Amino acid sequence: MKPDAFDVVILGAGVAGCATALALHAAGITDIAVVEAASSARNDWVGESLPPDVSELLKALDMWDRFRAAGHEPCLGSCASWGSPLLGYNDFLTNISGCGWHIHRPRFDASFREAVAQRGIPIRPGHRLAGAEALILDSGFRLHLRTHCAEIPIVARHVVDATGPRAAFARCIGSSSIQHDLLVFITATAALAPGAWPSRLTMTETAEAGWWYAAGLPGNRLSLAFATDPEISRTRRLDHPTEWLNALAGTRHIAPRLANTPFDLGPLIVRAAPVTQRQRPCGARWTGVGDAASIFDPLGSEGIYKALEDGIRAAEVIHASLRHGQDRSADYAARIAANTEDHLNMRRHFYALERQWPDSPFWTRRHIKERSDPSPARRGIGL
């Protein structure tokens, strides 16, 4: 049986994959298939916030009105106790793009999938990449997709790897990654009484073994997360609620704001948070987007922004290739590399600032001499 063939096959229906599909459709490329390994959408995301300038990316994707109607909570800025026991503030009040946003992540992701489907691009769940082979004359790839009951071949003139940290296609064709760091993020959502956490700011504060993050969510909920080393998490059993809550109780700013406030804590979610970049994030007939191309430290709150931006830029590269026969993959790879270096400089700067625990294994591992002046407050924590 002759396999189905498409101009573009997008592997992954997360934000990066959907953003690529929307941008391609807007550019006139509509022969697209979006396939997703999971059978259902993830719903365990917690605590994401978006900076004010995300509005420009959402407008470029014709998603701004849909986003505004979804009921996400405004974020007025950030505050942080980093390198000092005192809080510093980074307010959005004077930002020309307005406020930032505390988002309801399942609702945010669903709105992108709905927008893709409404443009006549079906999303095929339960299709996992099993293999790939380049076609002759550099005309694309044959993909082998596995469902629960069969293996299905599909042909693409161009492949988009939007499979997240797995980078399933990139790894399949031999593109390795460079790992700069590895954190573990232990998160939970607390249900609060109305008004118990009135702040519209995200809050970050350091501790001897890592750093904490707190952000209000729609529906009187609070996202709480601790970033540390995997071995510290294992040794201190921080994936156990009692030990995690004991660590939370030692915070200088978050715990006092929760004092005398009853809350119901949801299950702890332990997720690896590597800082990596793909050595080869793209080629003439394929493009990696989002976490499949590079993964940033959660400290910068750049993941969703980067996914949207990658999708828009990837669509430009693919349009140039399919419609004009131009290979702009080198420009795309250079942009990924430059953005990653900017991010690495930002995190070097911030981690070098924290000297309150000179004997802490977590902090001493990250006290790397800063190599440049990256203007670190672009979208990161408030210092």
Ordered domains of the chain (ranges, CATH): 4-83+99-179+276-340 (3.50.50.60)
Average pLDDT over residues 322-338: 96
Neighbouring CB atoms inside 10 A of 356's CB total 15
Average pLDDT over residues 238-262: 93
pLDDT classification of 374: cutoffs 50, 70, 90 = very low
pLDDT at 49: 84
pLDDT classification of 369: cutoffs 50, 70, 90 = very low
Q: Are strands 49-50 and 100-102 parallel, antiparallel or unpaired?
A: antiparallel
- Alpha-helix residue ranges (DSSP H) falling in the chain: 15-26, 54-60, 64-68, 105-118, 168-172, 230-236, 241-249, 254-258, 303-324, 329-353, 361-364
In the numeric block, which tokens belong to residue 156? Answer: 């693409």
Structural contact between residues 361 and 210, judged by C-beta atoms closer than 8 angstroms: no
Give the SS3 label for residue 66.
Answer: helix
Residue 47 has pLDDT above 70, yes or no: no
What residues contact residue 124 under an 8 Å CB cut-off, 6+ apart? 33, 34, 35, 36
pLDDT at 40: 67
* Spatial distance between the Cα atoms of 313 and 27, rounded to a whole number of angstroms: 12
Q: Are strands 73-75 and 77-81 parallel, antiparallel or unpaired?
A: unpaired
pTM above 0.85, yes or no: yes
In the numeric block, which tokens belong to residue 86? Answer: 């005192």
> What is the separation of C-alpha 217 from the centre of its chain, rounded to a whole number of angstroms?
17
pLDDT at 46: 66
pLDDT classification of 382: cutoffs 50, 70, 90 = very low
Average pLDDT over residues 188-217: 89
Average pLDDT over residues 71-79: 86
Q: Fill in the DSSP letter of residue 369.
A: P
Average pLDDT over residues 85-112: 86
* Spatial distance between the Cα atoms of 156 and 125, rounded to a whole number of angstroms: 18
Residue 27 has pLDDT above 90, yes or no: yes
Average pLDDT over residues 28-48: 81
Average pLDDT over residues 338-345: 94
In the numeric block, which tokens belong to residue 44? Answer: 């365990």
What residues contact residue 318 under an 8 Å CB cut-off, 6+ apart? 8, 20, 24, 29, 158, 160, 287
Higher pLDDT, residue 84 or 95: 84
- Alpha-helix residue ranges (DSSP H) falling in 129-204: 168-172
Length of the chain: 383
Residue 285 has pLDDT above 50, yes or no: yes
Q: What is the pLDDT of residues 56-65, one digit of tens each?
A: 999 999 999 9
pLDDT at 378: 42
Residue 319 has pLDDT above 90, yes or no: yes
pLDDT at 263: 86
pLDDT at 100: 87
Average pLDDT over residues 352-376: 75
Q: Where on the phi/psi map is residue 12: left (φ > 0), alpha (ψ -120 to 50), or beta?
A: left
pLDDT at 335: 96
Residue 42 has pLDDT above 70, yes or no: no
